[in-house]
Chains A and B, each alone.
Chain A
Amino acid sequence: MTELSLHILDIIQNSIVAKADLIEISVLEDGISDLLLIEISDNGIGIDGETLKKVSDPFYTSRTTRKVGMGISLFRQAAEQCNGSLTIESQLHVGTTVKVVMKNSHLDKQPIGDIAGVISLMVSSNPLIDFTYQHITGKGKYLFNSKEIKKLLEDIPVTDPKVIKFIKEMIQDNLHEINAST
């Protein structure tokens, strides 16, 4: 994985499999403490205590098509190589939150990448799931809420390619305004 946005995309896939209908992503760039915080929270089926201890093991997976699940291990590795960490909190039938923190100025920190593309792609290919995306920098804060978008679109489907393109550009523009790094 070459960008943090791809790791985020991967964790979102886990939330979708967990049958979440609300997935909240937030990115905080804290220049003062030199930290990058990423949080992905869902209201899916949750993970029980015993399983939670095993999820970071790449040889443990809930899927049946193969015996390896690498998403969490790879993200953890990406964080740890920047003096960071990945923690998961979960409650059965309530949801799961994956929190990643890393040193923002670390030389090995992967760029955030095309997060606007990831969010717009997720919104359009999962019309029944709602997403919120919050990005905070030293300059400002941007909040994207797919519920607002869908309400505004009325009967136009969120899967329409012109809508997908618009959402991506809107997020990009707003992130640019707050000097979000990519």
Chain B
Amino acid sequence: MTTIKTLADLKKLKDDLQEKLKPRERGLSPETQVQVKVAMATCGIASGAKGIMDFLVEEFDKRNIEAVVTQTGCMGYCYAEPTLEVTVPGKEPVVFGFVDIHRADEIIEKYIKNGELVEGIIPQNYETIEKIDNK
């Protein structure tokens, strides 16, 4: 029978991580990391965006890629959910639609690692009902 994870176990994990991170230069600035935003409005969640987000967090860790995965609200592409906005440092953000696990894997391997464009990109020339500052 496994024991329940407690806060004491978390403390131990923290100590382990602090040891590992000491020699490495911790660049926590967004400019040096890949940023992936997963659209998580009702349309996104209903289409499986949470599963995609779980997959991305796990895969970036496994493949040792410095990336920040966050969620954002509706980007307006409800017909193409799940959608991701990927910003590789130094490049413009690219929005991918119809992302399933297979395509998410392709995006990591081909676009993020090699800069190769993948199928399913949504061009960034949509109009909103009102002009808003997209943040």
Contacts and interface: CB of A to CB of B under 8 A. Distances in A.
B73 A13 contact: yes
B40 interface: yes
Contact of B54 (A70, A121, A126): A121
B18 A156 contact: yes
A159 interface: yes
A9 B50 contact: yes
A121 B50 contact: yes
Contacts of B9: 166, 170
A167 B57 CA distance: 13
Interface of A: 1, 6, 9-10, 13, 16-17, 63-67, 69-71, 74, 114, 117-118, 121, 124-126, 148-149, 152-157, 159-167, 169-170, 173-174, 176-177
Closest 6 CB pairs of A and B: A161-B61, A65-B76, A170-B5, A173-B4, A125-B70, A71-B42
Interface string B3-14: 011110111011
Which of B14, B42, B61, B78 counts the most chain A CB atoms within 10 A? B42
A142 to B, nearest CB: 10
A63 B71 CA distance: 16
A173 B3 CA distance: 8
Contacts of B68: 159
A118 B51 CA distance: 10
Given A6-B45, A166-B13, A65 B75 contact: yes
Contacts of B7: 148-149, 152
B45 A67 contact: no
B45 A153 contact: no
Tell which of B18, B46, B76, B132 has the most Cβ of chain A within 10 Å.
Answer: B46
Given A162-B61, A174-B4, A157 B10 contact: no
Contacts of A121: 50, 53-54, 57, 71
A152 B11 contact: yes
15 contacts: A6-B46, A63-B41, A65-B74, A65-B128, A66-B74, A70-B42, A70-B43, A121-B71, A126-B70, A148-B7, A152-B14, A156-B21, A162-B17, A166-B5, A173-B4
